[in-house]
């Protein structure tokens, strides 16, 4: 299922708010402020920066939220966690 780019944009904006600003987020993950602005505009974050964002936000903005369509492929351990939380796994 393809997720809305606006959800991802909102997650990046939330991450920026948590760390103080888009500039602060850029400094933390090692990119320019323009790159963060572009992520918000496009609604897409390169996978290489997602773990740093998750760490910088104390887990408030997760890799799964930033890459909802392919996080389970990039980080297989997330698929295991998601499966263990599913109602079918509780049976």
Q: At what angle do helices 33-42 and 5-19 cross, to 10 degrees?
A: 150
Q: What is the pLDDT along the chain (91 residues), one digit of tens a residue?
A: 567 889 999 999 999 999 999 999 999 999 999 999 999 999 999 999 999 999 999 999 999 999 999 998 998 988 776 656 656 555 5
The answer to whether the beta carbons of residues 40 and 13 sit under 8 Å apart is: yes
pLDDT of 43: 96
The domain defined by 5-90 folds into 434 Repressor (Amino-terminal Domain) (1.10.260)
pLDDT of 61: 98
């Amino acid at each position: 299922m393809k997720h809305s780019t606006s959800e991802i944009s909102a997650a990046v904006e939330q991450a920026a708010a948590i760390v103080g600003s888009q500039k602060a987020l850029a400094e933390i993950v090692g990119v320019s402020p323009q790159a963060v602005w572009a992520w918000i505009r496009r609604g897409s974050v390169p996978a290489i920066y997602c773990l740093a964002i998750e760490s910088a936000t104390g887990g408030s903005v997760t890799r799964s939220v930033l890459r909802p369509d392919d996080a389970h492929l990039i980080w297989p351990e997330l698929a295991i966690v998601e499966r263990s939380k599913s109602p079918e796994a509780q049976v």
